[in-house]
Structure 1
Amino acid sequence: MAYYRKLFTASLRFASTYGRGLVTASLARERLAKLSSSLKKNWISLSVAGAICAVPIAQVEVSHEALIKRASSLVTDSANTYLSQTTLALVDSLTQYAKAIRMLVALHRRYKASASRLPPADEEAVWQILLQQREEVGMRREDCKRFESNWMTAINLSELAAEAAYNAGADQASVAARSSLDLAQSQVEHVRQLSLQAENDLSEASALDSPRILPSADPSTADEDEEIPEAYLRED
């Protein structure tokens, strides 16, 4: 009986050991399968990466002509911006100059028509206003000269930029620069004609250099003095 009990115990141990061996072997086979799959994937990735690295990547080279063309377009854009700003400044200065001239001519005409009849205090006030307006005209003229100098520089730059763009093959940039030039010149020419007409009116009125008209102290006495010689001649 003791013999069979030992034999049964030994059988249980063998079965347990054999079962653990089977489990361990099964786990080993699963790990081995996973490792094999991982190695296969890594090998495929390395193969693909190696193939990509092996393929030469073509470097895009920009020609000198393309770079010059692009640079000429940038130059025309900058020249157009400078031209538009100087054109705006010159047009505004010419407009203000013409307005100042018209105001001076109007004040001068009123002064000539009424200065001799005004009281001395009123004549003095009107004369001071006339002098201030003359100074205003002079300041506006200087502004026109300064802005016209900047505008002429912008015109020259735009012409050079348009020519450079045309030579570089940037036809669209060249056409845009020419259009900006034509527009700027037409705008300035229109306002310049108005200022020239105002200058002609100023010259005809002599409003810049006409002398001061002092009112007479007693207009009635002056009239009597003018009539005395005629009465004296009648008595002769």
Structure 2
Amino acid sequence: MQAFRNCGLCASGSLLKGRTDFLVARRNMAVLRRSAACVQLLKDKVNLLCSSPLHQRLLRLPEVARSNAVAFSVGSSLCAVPFTQVENLSHESLIRRASCLVTDSANTYLSQTTLALVDALTQYAKALHTLIALQKRYITSIGKLTPAEEDNIWQVIIGQRVEVSDRLEECKRFESNWINAIHICELSAEAAYNSGAEHACTATKTNLQVAQSKVEEIRKISKDAEKKLAETKAEEIQRMAEYASSIDINDLEDIPEAYLRED
């Protein structure tokens, strides 16, 4: 009876174990099928990617680009992906990059100082032309104005002369900064050339030429205005002398005191 019971237990245990193994086998087969489906899907995606126009263009890359490509395989397909070659960070390359940064900063400084100087010279020339117009108006009205009117116009002329003087001081201040910018650009261009950055050197020299030509152009305009002002002053002195000789010596007291103080 004991032996029968043992045999029954063994039989039932063997049956349970066989059933468990069967379930495990079925589960493993399901996992295997899903894995096979995933692999097949991945292969289809890779085949589609490798047959795309992008892959065809990659295959037509020149030999230099293909030499930097890393090949890898997914499933049964082969694709090529280019990688950019990193420049060697040697002392020469670092100095060359630093010189390019210096030229960029120097060009910015030159641009700002040139703009400031050109604007200051333009305003100075405008102030000169305004003063010239006022003095010509006074010349044409000599002997025709009352003392009060003559005093008023002289007050305006004196105020305009003060503005001309202020504009000239502003030009001198900006010109000092501009000259410093010129020297810095010349040094940075030389440094860029010595480091091998010929493009930065050429660009800086071009900016120097443009800035100098622009400043010289506006300087010529201001110089012409100064020349016209000197001619107007000479004409004013001559006209006053003619007017003084045409009146009695006692009328010299009517000549404005501001004119008598004129250099």
Aligned residues: 184
The correspondence for 2:109, drawn from 70, 82, 86, is: 82
Corresponding position of 1:131: 158
List aligned pairs for 1:137-176, cutoff 5 A: 137-176=164-203
* Cα RMSD, aligned residues only: 3.4
Corresponding position of 1:190: 217
The correspondence for 2:227, drawn from 195, 200, 208, is: 200
Identity across aligned pairs (percent)? 51
Cα deviation, residue 152, structure 1: 0.2
The correspondence for 1:20, drawn from 7, 16, 19, is: 16
Equivalent-residue separation in structure 1 for 2:97 and 2:189 (angstroms) = 13
Cα deviation, residue 31, structure 1: 9.1
Equivalent-residue separation in structure 2 for 1:139 and 1:90 (angstroms) = 14
SS of the residue corresponding to residue 89 of structure 2 reads coil
Cα deviation, residue 178, structure 1: 0.4
Corresponding position of 1:111: 138
C-alpha distance after superposition, 1:17-49 (max 9, x if no partner): 332121234467789999xxxxxxxxxxxxxxx
Counterpart of 2:108, as a letter, is T
Counterpart of 1:193, as a letter, is K
Cα deviation, residue 159, structure 1: 0.3
Q: Which has the higher contact order (CA 8 A, sep 6+)?
A: 1
Cα deviation, residue 128, structure 1: 1.4
Cα deviation, residue 129, structure 1: 1.1
Gaps in structure 1 of 5+ consecutive residues? 35-58, 214-221, 227-236
Gaps in structure 2 of 5+ consecutive residues? 32-85, 241-246, 252-263
- Deviating more after overlay: 19-28 vs 190-199: 19-28
> Which one has the bigger strand percentage?
2
SS of the residue corresponding to residue 218 of structure 2 reads helix
Counterpart of 1:182, as a letter, is Q
C-alpha distance after superposition, 1:205-229 (max 9, x if no partner): 228x97xx8xxxxxxxx78x99xxx
Normalised to the residue count of structure 1, the TM-score between the two structures is 0.68
> Which one has the bigger helix percentage?
1
C-alpha distance after superposition, 1:70-113 (max 9, x if no partner): 11111111100100111111111111111111110110111122
Corresponding position of 2:82: none
Equivalent-residue separation in structure 2 for 1:148 and 1:65 (angstroms) = 36
The correspondence for 1:70, drawn from 97, 117, 127, is: 97
Cα deviation, residue 130, structure 1: 0.8
Corresponding position of 2:127: 100
Normalised to the residue count of structure 2, the TM-score between the two structures is 0.61
